[in-house]
């Protein structure tokens, strides 16, 4: 029997006003995993209203009281790790290791939020005005609209709400249609069970064909004062434009065309292991996944042989099997898109070094392509799947050029045995994030996370996240004497 869930508005589980529901499909079996309420614009209005009504009380709640809720939620999250692993396998085809990582990081995001609750909220400014204190003070915006994706549902769903809540905002969360439980309702359950007051976090799930209306209603509501979105650049442009039209700040973490640069002095075994993890964790469905391994010409053939041999052995199949490394794409349409990228590349001259064969159950085998060129879609488009390409570089300078041949500058990695050389290369890569002697798939809740160019703007995480979800206000206090006026 499938699960049935309703919206969460003002701390209550309620059906959509229209009574409409939508199905949540297991991507591996094709069966209905859950049936959830399908919100419409009336439900958006209710959810925003609940958040607006709860704001003043939540913003005035003491920092320590807020921190206690987040710490309690972190412990509850860890206690429910087994439930989270099963949920991710059934809802998005997440393999066990990826789900465990999601659960652990989501718990730590909550702990980071607890720390943010008691972080400094401003500074004393220099002033030429006698007898005054001049202060720069951070305060919450009010209602935040949070739009979370399916691919790392526990991490990205929690990231979308934790810091905004910690600094005193209230939130309306719209999770992806592909993961309404894992990146929405499940997270809200944990926070409500930890003592989060009613109305502070509201969750609206929706049918795919209603997404545009729901998102538009949410962002354009005058009571919503800030927006955050994680997803594709294509959709991010729409979200960012809509927010800008209504003069609302937005944090947008969007697509990445991520490179791992392997210099000529790299430890090849380490480079192969790093590339394999960075390209194929969660079947490559991570915004940080490696789309291109850029390898110095002098070692490119040997690297490719070793890399392809390792990739060919990755266990592929049922995400509920703890030994599986490559699970399904999120749905059959996503798998077909990946096969189209392979077919287009091969038709235009690319070679398959590993994988490439068509599988059932929305599976795409771990695939390595060589000899890709700018005429191929895969050269420019974000892959977001279990395919990567190997590009030879004539020099470190050429590797930098290839890595920067994209406007999707989210993250990158540089592998070398010469750290100072690695830092020199890393500084010239046009990305929001870069890792020297590691691959691009890294995340910590206290780090500033976000991209450059068409990978979005604003930052999640740590002090940068606090700044993103609070507005700066100038306050002066005439604490001694009276101000002087010219007339």
Sorted by sequence, the CB contacts under 8 Å of residue 144 that are 6+ apart come out as: 161, 164, 169, 170, 171, 172, 224, 225, 226, 227, 228, 469
Helix, strand, or coil here: 34?
strand
**Beta-bridge partners for 411:** none
Q: Which two tokens stand for residue 285?
A: 């469905």
Kind plus residue range of the DSSP H or E element containing 152? none
Q: Are 417 and 406 in contact (CB under 8 A)?
A: no
Known catalytic residue at 177: no
Query: Residue 479, Cα to own-chain centre: how many angstroms?
Result: 45
292 bridge partner residues: 259, 389
Expressed in percent and rounded to 5, the helix, strand and coil fractions of the chain are 40, 25, 35
Helix, strand, or coil here: 186?
helix
287 is a catalytic site residue? yes
The answer to whether the beta carbons of residues 295 and 393 sit under 8 Å apart is yes
Q: Which of 86, 253, 444, 471 is catalytic?
A: 253
Write the CA distances from 231 to 41, 95, 105, 158, 262, integer angstroms.
22, 21, 19, 15, 28
| Cβ atoms of 135 and 123 closer than 8 Å | yes
For residues 396 and 359, is the Cβ–Cβ distance under 8 A?
A: no
Nearest to 153 by CA among 324, 287, 243, 321: 287
Using CB atoms within 10 Å of the CB of residue 442, give its burial: 0 to 12 exposed, 13 to 18 middle, 19+ buried: middle
Half-sphere exposure in the Cβ direction for 290 (13 Å, CA): 37
Catalytic residue among 177, 183, 226, 287: 287
Q: With contact defined as beta carbons under 8 Å apart, do 255 and 232 qualify?
A: yes
* Sequence-ordered list of residues with C-beta below 8 angstroms from that of 373, at least 6 positions apart, any chain: 348, 349, 350, 379
Q: Whole-angstrom Cα distance, residue 159 to residue 147?
A: 10
**Positions marked catalytic:** 253, 287
């Amino acid at each position: 029997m499938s699960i049935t869930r309703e919206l969460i508005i003002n701390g209550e589980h309620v059906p959509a006003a229209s009574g409409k529901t939508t199905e949540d499909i297991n991507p591996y079996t094709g069966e209905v995993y859950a049936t959830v309420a399908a919100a419409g614009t009336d439900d958006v209005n209710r959810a925003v209203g609940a958040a607006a009504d709860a704001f003043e009380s939540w913003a005035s709640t003491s920092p320590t009281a807020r921190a206690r809720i987040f710490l309690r939620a972190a412990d509850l999250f860890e206690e429910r790790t087994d439930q989270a692993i099963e949920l991710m396998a059934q809802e998005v085809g997440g393999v066990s290791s990826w789900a465990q990582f999601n659960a652990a990081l989501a718990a730590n995001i909550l702990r980071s939020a607890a720390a943010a609750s008691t972080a400094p909220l401003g500074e004393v400014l220099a002033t030429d005005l006698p007898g005054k204190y001049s202060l720069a003070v951070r305060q919450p915006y009010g209602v935040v609209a949070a739009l979370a994706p399916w691919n790392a549902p526990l991490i990205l769903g929690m990231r979308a709400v934790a810091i905004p809540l910690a600094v005193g905002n209230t939130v309306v969360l719209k999770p992806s249609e592909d993961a309404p439980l894992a990146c929405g309702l499940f997270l809200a359950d944990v926070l409500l069970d930890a003592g989060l007051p009613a109305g502070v976090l509201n969750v609206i799930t929706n049918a795919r064909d209603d997404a545009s209306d729901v998102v538009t209603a949410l962002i354009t509501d005058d009571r919503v004062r800030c927006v955050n979105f994680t997803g594709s650049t294509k959709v991010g442009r729409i979200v960012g434009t809509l927010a800008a039209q209504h003069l609302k700040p937005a944090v947008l973490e969007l697509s990445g065309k991520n490179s791992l640069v392997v210099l000529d002095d790299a430890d090849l075994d380490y480079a192969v292991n790093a590339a394999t993890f960075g390209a194929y964790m969660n079947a490559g469905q991570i915004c940080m996944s490696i789309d291109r391994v850029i390898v110095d010409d002098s070692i490119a053939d040997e690297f490719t042989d070793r890399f392809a041999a390792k990739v060919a052995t990755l266990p592929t199949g049922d995400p509920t099997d703890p030994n599986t490394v490559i699970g399904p794409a999120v749905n059959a349409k996503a798998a077909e898109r990946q096969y189209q990228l392979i077919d287009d590349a091969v038709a235009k001259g690319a070679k398959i070094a590993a994988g490439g064969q068509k599988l059932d159950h929305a599976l795409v085998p771990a695939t390595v392509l060589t000899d890709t060129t700018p005429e191929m879609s895969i050269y420019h488009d974000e892959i977001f799947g279990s395919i990567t390409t190997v590009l030879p570089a004539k020099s470190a300078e050429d590797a930098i050029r290839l890595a920067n041949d994209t406007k999707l500058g989210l993250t990158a990695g540089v592998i070398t045995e010469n750290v100072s050389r690695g830092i020199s290369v890393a500084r010239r890569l046009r990305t929001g994030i870069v890792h020297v002697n590691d691959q691009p798939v890294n995340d910590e809740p206290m780090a500033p996370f976000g991209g450059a160019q068409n990978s979005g703007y604003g930052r999640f995480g740590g002090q940068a996240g606090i700044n993103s979800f609070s507005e700066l206000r100038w306050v002066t206090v005439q604490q001694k004497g009276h101000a002087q006026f010219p007339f």
